[in-house]
Structure 1
Amino acid sequence: MARIRTIKPEICTSSQFVECSPNARLLFVLMLCFFDDGGNHPANCKRLKMEVFPADDFSMAQMASLMAELIGQGLVVEYGHEGEVYWHITGFARHQKVDRPNPKFPPFDAGSARPRRSPAEPSPPEGKGGEGTGAEPMGQGRERAPAAPPFPTQGFRDVPSRSGGVPGDARQQEHERIMAANAAACRSFCGEGA
């Protein structure tokens, strides 16, 4: 069920928010009404489209691309819980006051954020794996790798704004390449062809 939420005027000058396309900004504002009292929602483009844009002609590929923009700007993060994938609005608790919270979905935990590999990035090489039980204790050659930061914050703050970028600028081209790869990953995740 949709909830009444508060939109602060400061959102209009947020660097993360203004870097998004107008449709992504509209999606973000409307998502607030349909995400639960913890700022969480199942990562399902079709469901979100039916909630937020029921009378509009957005395709699943367009929805996936809009979500990729929001994720790319750090406004939304994807996380997993018991094999299911959810979205979390990163500043939800800071900006929304919920008197009697009644969350419907598992809470976001920073350790459960799902880093995603870009479709342009090659798959890791396949190997035969090692022999053994896999039960070697920590500290004997099986150190845990540090957790990856939530996808995809690396590099986005260095990209020039839409209005400030110079056509042909290498950083702008890299930004467009990354955004296209993110959109393809979201389309793939949501079941749409790339």
Structure 2
Amino acid sequence: MARARNIKPGFFENEVLAELGPFDRLLFMGLWTLADREGRLEDRPKRIRMKLFPGDDYDVERGLEALAGKGFISRYEVEGHAVVEVANFLKHQKPHGTEKDSTLPDANGFLTVNERGKGGCVTGKKRLVHVKDTPSTEENNVNPTLDNSSVTVDSPSDNALILRFTDSPNPEEEHPLPPQGGDDAASSPGKAQPKPERKPRAPTFDPVSACPDCVTPDVWAKWVQHRREIRKPLTPTSCSQQGEDLASHPRPDAVIELSIANGWQGLFPGKIGAPGNEVGRAPPGSTSAVLVVPTHTQEMYPDERI
């Protein structure tokens, strides 16, 4: 089974390796993915070619000889096993904690058997057993659910099997965040945690519904639309304040109509007096040219003819 392995920048800077051809260097990297946790694989050039170069006309046997000649791999036979061993494999690679023990012996015929804890994870303790004295695998050699994509190791530094569904190019996706909710949630990670309740959204304020009792609804609706058009929509506070300002005015509708006509943002009750005594001046700083002219009657000029 192919496995994910690490590659370091120094690989491309190795002057000895650079003396080999590009396919030989690619073969070297490919051997890492085929090797077991001890850096060993069966010395079967035809099988290696089918796994690494199925579409290329490349002589794997010659490439293995080239790598062995430079000291990057060793090839040996012991107790009926033909083995390729990558040099300094464990110096540059960190196999996954639940990866199977090697079933291939070293050059002296010894197998490395790792002590494993709960879930099949290696503990760091190991022993050497001669290949003649033990079966190729032991019952506790590997977690039996590993090949079924069971998550048994939570270590971001461990390499993961390529065939595991949990593999991801994004490190943040490889290991889920711890459960939220305090000690109770942490003590039962398998239990689904309830979703936080959403706060009910406050109802949208409709300024039309806040029409003061003293104002005609149609006039107030025009005022609301005017404030929207000048990008100054009415708020609950402004509606309440304007209602108080208009409550004691004899002509509240006229106050609003004057503000709309002049393009004002606010209401100015003082600009509209009793009937026949309106003053239509714009507030200081306004550029509006609209002026409300007072109504002239005969009673206002008893001694003159209009």
> Taking structure 1 as reference, are residues 63 and 99 closer, same or farther at Cα in structure 2, changes over 3 Å only?
closer
Deviations 1:8-37 (A, max 9, x none): 011111133112111100111111111111
Counterparts of 2:88 and 2:101, CA distance in 1: 16
Displacement of 1:99 in angstroms is 3.3
Match of 1:83 among 80, 84, 87: 80
**Aligned with 1:31: secondary structure?**
helix
Kindly provide the amino acid, as one letter, of the partner of residue 84 in structure 1.
H
Q: TM-score, normalised by structure 2?
A: 0.34
RMSD, matched Cα = 1.9
Per the normalisation by structure 1, the TM-score is: 0.52
- Which protein has the larger Cα radius of gyration, Structure 1 or Structure 2? 2
Please, which runs of 5 or more residues in structure 2 have no aligned partner?
Answer: 111-306
The 3 A distance-change label for structure 1 pair 103 and 87 is: same
Distance of aligned partners of 1:103 and 1:55 in 2 relative to their CA distance in 1, 3 Å threshold = farther
Q: Distance in 2 between matches of 1:66 and 1:96?
A: 22
1:85 Cα deviation after fit: 1.1
Match of 1:14 in 2: 14
After superposition, give the CA deviation of every residue in 1:51-92 in whole Å (9 maximum; x if it has no partner): 11112222xxx2111111100010000122212210000021
Q: Which residue of 1 aligns with 2:47?
A: 47
Contact 1:41 1:105 in 2 (8 A): no
Equivalent in 103, 106, 109 of residue 105 of structure 1: 103
Q: Deviations over 1:88-145 (max 9, x none)?
A: 0002110001132413432323689xxxxxxxxxxxxxxxxxxxxxxxxxxxxxxxxx
How do 1:61-80 and structure 2 match up within 5 A? 62-80=59-77
Question: Which structure 1 residue ranges, 4+ long, deviate > 4 Å from structure 2?
Answer: none
Counting aligned pairs with the same residue, the percent is 31
Is the counterpart of residue 33 in structure 1 residue 33 in structure 2? yes
Cα distance 1:82–1:28, how it changes in 2: closer, same or farther (>3 A)?
Answer: same
**What pairs up with 1:44-193 in 2 under 5 angstroms?**
44-58=44-58, 62-100=59-97, 101-109=99-107
In structure 1, what is the Cα distance between the partners aligned to 2:15 and 2:108?
Answer: 22
- Aligned residue type for 1:72: G
In structure 1, C-alpha distance between the alignment counterparts of 2:105 and 2:79, rounded to whole Å:
12
Q: Secondary structure at the match of 1:78?
A: strand
The separation in 1 between residues aligned to 2:5 and 2:101, in whole angstroms, is 14
Deviation at 1:48, TM superposition (A): 0.5
User: Residue type of the partner of 1:91?
Assistant: N
Residue-by-residue CA offset, 1:142-183 (whole Å, 9 max, x unaligned): xxxxxxxxxxxxxxxxxxxxxxxxxxxxxxxxxxxxxxxxxx
CA contact (8 A) 1:38 1:107 kept: no
**One-letter code of the match for 2:91?**
R
What secondary structure is seen at the aligned counterpart in 1 of 2:3?
A: coil
Aligned mates of 2:105, 2:14 — CA distance in 1: 25
Gaps of 5+ in 1: 113-194
